[in-house]
Amino acid sequence: MRLLVTGAAGFIGRNILLAVPHTWEVITLYRPGNTDFLHFLQEKQLRHIQPVACDLTDEGQVRQAMHLTGGAFEACLALASNTSIPGSIEHPIQDATINILGLLHLLQYCTLKHLVYLSSGAVYIGLRGAVGPLAPVVPTLPYAISKLAAEHYIQAYIQHHTSLQAATILRFFGAYGPYEPVRKLYTKLVRRFAFERNPHFTVTGDGENYIDAMYVDDAITALMAVLTEPVSEGVRCVDLGVGSRESVKEVVLRAAHTFGIEPQLQYEGVSAEYIQFVIDPRTFASLYHFTPTISLEVGLQRLATHLAQVEGIMND
């Protein structure tokens, strides 16, 4: 397979590159100047990966990158995105530029048989109870608005252009694991409870909002299933998540107990992403024969092992 991966230097990107077969021809786009990503490819001996420096928000760079690579791919895994919801509130223009304009530049200058676009479950924010792709969504967070707009542009490209044959839109509910940003909840939990052995933890908001995230190995298995499944022309939109009604508070308690800590929780502020809705994971399971298998406890232990190795922490 000839695969293009955008946002390859990010959390999901690095993990997918570790999983793709070495027989695939993989071209990755990453932000210019990110030498850490090049070191990652060298360290992991990913010689079958062709890195191309390209800022997707710069039309000229995208045009040049597609000219350099030939611009035609059997599949594209579109991961490039602004991933900070608070950041999208503070800088909505930057968020829209990355999430919408970056995708449009890509669609304008390459030819794809199959686009796999990682959207977000955040498009459902404001709804309660069971949700799905047919639910009427009216998001108010800039991040969710730009993700939903990107979905609509994909629909438009399928309808009006021949350069895109098929697209799968994944409304992804998140993952955790190696290479995730240090600001993410799960890394904070591991550092506080496993390494610092500190029972005190501050939760943003009241802790009653749902959180639905799978360990990254499960997420990568799901993405590989989508990439390798035969596709028909047109657009498919499907939710990808565990389908959990577990609250942030419950996840924090389980994390603490995983590392033998009885936590003392404090609550402050308001959560920007207050989730009170849940998906049915059976649709994805029936389409791609995938169900998450890694428990929170096992996933956190694996993340702790990774962080200990990276940071040189001796953790008994």
Provide the H-helix boundaries in 22-166.
35-43, 59-69, 85-90, 92-96, 102-109, 142-160
pLDDT band at 103 (very low <50, low <70, confident <90, very high): very high
Nearest CA to 84 among 29, 7, 123, 141?
141
Given phi > 0 = left and psi -120 to 50 = alpha, else beta, which region is 70? left
Q: What is the pLDDT of residue 315?
A: 47
Nearest-angstrom CA–CA distance, 13 and 20: 11
CB 278 within 8 A of CB 129: yes
Instruction: Write down the pLDDT at residue 33.
Output: 93
Superfamily of domain 2-174+214-240: NAD(P)-binding Rossmann-like Domain (3.40.50.720)
Domain boundaries, the chain: 2-174+214-240, 176-212+243-275+294-311
Q: Residue 148 half-sphere exposure, CB side, CA atoms within 13 Å?
A: 17
Using one digit for the tens of pLDDT, what is the confidence trace for 112-157?
999 999 999 999 999 999 999 999 999 999 999 999 999 999 999 9
Asked if the model's pLDDT at residue 177 lies above 70, the reply is yes
- Check residue 191 and report its DSSP letter: I
Query: Residues 58-65: what's their mean pLDDT?
Result: 98
Q: Which helix (H) or strand (E) element contains residue 18?
A: helix 11-19
> Does the domain made of 176-212+243-275+294-311 have the CATH classification 3.40.50.300?
no
HSE (side-chain half, CA atoms, 13 Å) at 197: 5
Give strand pairing partners of 202: 266
Contacts for 308 with CB less than 8 Å, ≥ 6 apart: 195, 314, 315
pLDDT tens column, 66-79? 999 999 999 999 99
Q: For residues 207 and 131, what is the distance between their CA atoms, to the nearest angstrom? A: 21
User: What is the reported pTM?
Assistant: 0.95
| Secondary structure (DSSP) of 198-246 | --EEEEES-S-SB---EEHHHHHHHHHHHHHS---SEEEEEEES-----
> Which of 176, 287, 165, 173 shows the shortest CA–CA distance to 226?
287
Binned at pLDDT 50, 70 and 90, residue 313 comes out as low
